[in-house]
Amino acid sequence: MKQENIWKKSVMTGFMLLCLLPAGGCFGLAFAEEAEQAQEYIFPESDGEYLTEEELAGLPLQVIAYGKYEIFARRGMLFQSEELQNYFSGQNWYFGFIEEEEFPDSLLNEIETANLQLLGEQEEALSEGGYQTDQEGFAYDLIEAYLAGEEISEAGPAENTGEVPEGREAGEEETDQTEPESEAVAETESETVTGAETEAESET
């Protein structure tokens, strides 16, 4: 009996020491999981804390827009947009089960509703009509950089507008339309010589 009590005390002591370890114990694991989860969200606390204009200042349009849609994604919205559905389907926390047109606003709490309004206003301020999804060649590079904690400028990488410069087809590379100076001079001299020869023949 005495040996059994000693064994139990040893096990309990070992467990308690394990939990007290900052990185490998119970608390360490809990903190690590919380940090990992935070990195998966654009705005980790948008369902429980009010966002501010200061937090959003300087963020690119795509980040603002995705942060807005993230609030709906948390509540299980299935997006009609291929771009958004593909993105959120790749998030470990996402489980979509409500069609976008059937999504009830009653699922959103007061804080989420306020954050949606702020994000929508900021999105509209950055681009009239907001971020346009499903543009040709859409990408998630900017979002991934933001989630990775990389420093991004106010404009960020080139925004995904889908616009093609006038006079150029999609995918066509821009080329220099000006001829090299030497070629232009040579062409002019050739025309001058040809004209002189023609004039001489007509006089004879």
For 141-195, write each residue's pLDDT tens digit.
999 999 999 988 655 544 444 444 444 444 444 444 444 455 554 555 555 545 5
The DSSP letter of residue 118 is H
First vs last C-alpha separation in the chain: 135
Mean pLDDT value across the chain: 75
Round to whole Å and give the CA distance between 64 and 126.
Answer: 9
The H or E element containing residue 78 is strand 77-78
Structure tokens at 38: 């935070």
Contact between 64 and 130 under an 8 Å Cβ cutoff? The reply is no
pLDDT at 151: 85
Structure tokens at 53: 């204009």
Half-sphere exposure of 41 (CA within 13 A, CB side): 17
Model pTM score: 0.61
Q: Mean pLDDT, to the nearest integer, of 20-45?
A: 56
Round to whole Å and give the CA distance between 101 and 187.
Answer: 65
Residue type (1 letter), 162: G
The H or E element containing residue 92 is none
- Tell me the per-residue pLDDT of 55-77, one tens digit each, with 9 for 90 and over: 999 999 999 999 999 999 999 99
Helices in the chain by DSSP H: which ranges? 2-20, 26-40, 53-56, 61-74, 82-89, 110-126, 141-147, 181-203
Q: Mean pLDDT, to the nearest integer, of 193-202?
A: 52
